[in-house]
């Protein structure tokens, strides 16, 4: 018999309110080594076939589980996961830019189109994996709230993009990891240290510098897009979106890997579409864009958002969550660049200072959780 090694890094949700999950079946910890028995060359298993216990073979018997002993396994391309993360951040940023360019289309209607694209993508996966459309009975209530909170976060974020500067709204969404840690401490009894308190304070400081409330900065607030009333509404919407996204991540942690990734997105899309249609009828805002350009933008927003989720999911499948979370801050960089190049809106120093506070907070949270996961992996190896 020959001992072989397998395992892939755990995938954790990333920051920014666009939080994909990783399909079940990838349950080995980072660097985890699990012994599995494969027949040596020329030796056949007697009686029942012996099956590997590690995750790299998916339970298949030798020789179909892996390459023959002594052959070199093809190494993964170094840095591919981080490249996927940067590509995902770029696609999300371009989708946000197109949202800013759309005229006379309510953010709820844009969200409805996004949900339609999500459903079209997920439906074949549900049929292929035979997951059903409702999920396990004990998990349906969690899936419902996952779908409701996730779609609410999307609608609020799109509204924030429409009424405030692109970079400002993007920066606020990156406070999500900090609020996730706080909510996980409250509802899941996870550890919340003094470092987490410090990162939370940094994040709140960054949001204050971006919002610039009059009671702290006076009544004459400069460098904002449109009226200050819209800027304040956008800030509140972005914060509410971030809290909803953080709550979604906590729910996904509670559910764990007992629910398939596609089923989780299915609830997100279906509940989001139902909610958006109801809201559009109540608001009397349902209408197709008058301009052909806006219709193209709507399609591109759906495609780019879907592409961003796919690449972020692939990144989390082949790379540790810590580096992915840190690299996702490139979304902020892209937002600043696109805002200057295509929207002709220079960010103020207040926005830059707020962005630095939020990015430092988000990176600090990601690095701390990354080190914690590496430490646990080493303990499992021992």
54 lies in a domain? no
Question: Could you tell me the pLDDT band of residue 27, with boundaries at 50, 70 and 90?
Answer: very low
Q: What is the pTM of this model?
A: 0.71
**Residue 299 above 80 pLDDT?**
yes
What pLDDT, in 10s, does the model give residues 96-112? 999 888 877 888 888 88
What is the per-residue pLDDT for 253?
78
* pLDDT surpassing 50 at residue 223: yes
Residue 363 domain boundaries: 80-379
CA dist., res. 325 & res. 157, Å (int): 19
Residue range 51-91, pLDDT digits in tens: 434 444 444 443 444 444 544 445 557 678 889 889 999 99
pLDDT at 46 over 50: no
Segment 17-32 shows an average pLDDT of 42
Domain presence at residue 98? yes
Element (H, E) at 152: helix 140-163
Q: What was the pLDDT predicted at 8?
A: 34
- Does any domain span residue 126? yes
pLDDT band at residue 37 using 50, 70 and 90 as cut-offs: very low
Phi, psi values for residue 102, rounded to 5°: -70, 140
Does 69 fall in a domain? no
Q: Please, where are the H alpha helices in 174-227?
A: 176-187, 194-211, 214-217
**16 or 196, greater pLDDT:** 196
Higher model confidence: residue 257 or residue 188? 188
Q: Establish if 72 belongs to a structural domain.
A: no
Angle at 277 between CA 273 and CA 282, to 5 degrees: 150
Q: What is the pLDDT of residue 76?
A: 58
Task: Work out how many domains the chain is built from and give that number.
Answer: 1
CB atoms within 10 A of CB 287: 11
Contact between 165 and 232 (Cβ < 8 Å): no
Dist. CA 5–CA 139, nearest whole Å:
33
Tell me if 242 is assigned to some domain. yes
Q: Is residue 227 part of a domain?
A: yes
137 found inside a domain: yes
Segment 286-295, tens digit of pLDDT: 777 766 788 8
| pLDDT digits 0-9 by tens, 170-184 | 999 888 888 888 888
CA-atom Rg of the chain in angstroms: 23
């Amino acid at each position: 018999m020959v001992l072989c090694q397998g395992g892939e890094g755990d995938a954790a949700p990333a920051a920014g309110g666009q939080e994909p999950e990783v399909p079940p079946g990838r349950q080995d910890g980072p660097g985890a080594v699990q012994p599995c028995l494969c027949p040596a060359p020329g030796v056949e298993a007697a009686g029942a076939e012996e099956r590997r216990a590690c995750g790299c073979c998916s339970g298949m018997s030798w020789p179909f589980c892996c390459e023959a002993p002594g052959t070199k396994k093809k190494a993964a391309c170094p840095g591919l996961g981080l490249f996927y993360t940067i590509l995902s951040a770029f696609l999300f940023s371009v989708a946000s830019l197109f949202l800013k360019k759309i005229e006379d289309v309510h953010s709820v209607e844009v969200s409805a189109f996004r949900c339609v694209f999500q459903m079209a993508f997920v439906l074949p996966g549900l049929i292929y994996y035979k997951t059903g459309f409702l999920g396990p009975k004990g998990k349906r209530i969690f899936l419902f709230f996952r779908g409701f909170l996730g779609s609410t976060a999307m609608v609020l974020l799109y509204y924030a993009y429409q009424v405030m500067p692109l970079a400002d709204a993007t920066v606020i969404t990156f406070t999500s990891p900090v609020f996730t840690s706080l909510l996980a401490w409250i509802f899941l009894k996870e550890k919340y240290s003094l470092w987490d308190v410090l990162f939370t304070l940094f994040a709140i400081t960054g949001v204050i510098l971006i919002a610039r409330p009059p009671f702290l900065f006076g009544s004459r607030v400069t460098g904002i897009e449109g009226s200050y009333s819209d800027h304040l509404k956008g800030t509140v919407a972005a914060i509410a979106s971030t809290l909803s996204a953080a709550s979604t991540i906590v729910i996904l942690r509670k559910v764990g890997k007992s629910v398939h990734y596609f089923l989780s997105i299915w609830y997100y899309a279906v509940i989001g579409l139902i909610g958006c249609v109801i809201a559009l009828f109540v608001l009397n805002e349902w209408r197709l864009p008058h301009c052909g350009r806006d219709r193209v933008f709507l399609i591109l927003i759906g495609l780019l958002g879907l592409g961003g989720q796919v690449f972020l999911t692939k990144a989390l499948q082949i790379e540790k969550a810590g580096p992915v979370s840190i690299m996702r801050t490139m979304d902020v960089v892209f937002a600043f660049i696109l805002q200057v190049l295509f929207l002709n809106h220079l960010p103020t120093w207040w926005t830059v200072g707020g962005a630095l506070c939020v990015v430092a907070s988000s990176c600090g949270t990601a690095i701390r959780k990354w080190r914690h996961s590496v430490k646990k992996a080493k303990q499992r190896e021992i």
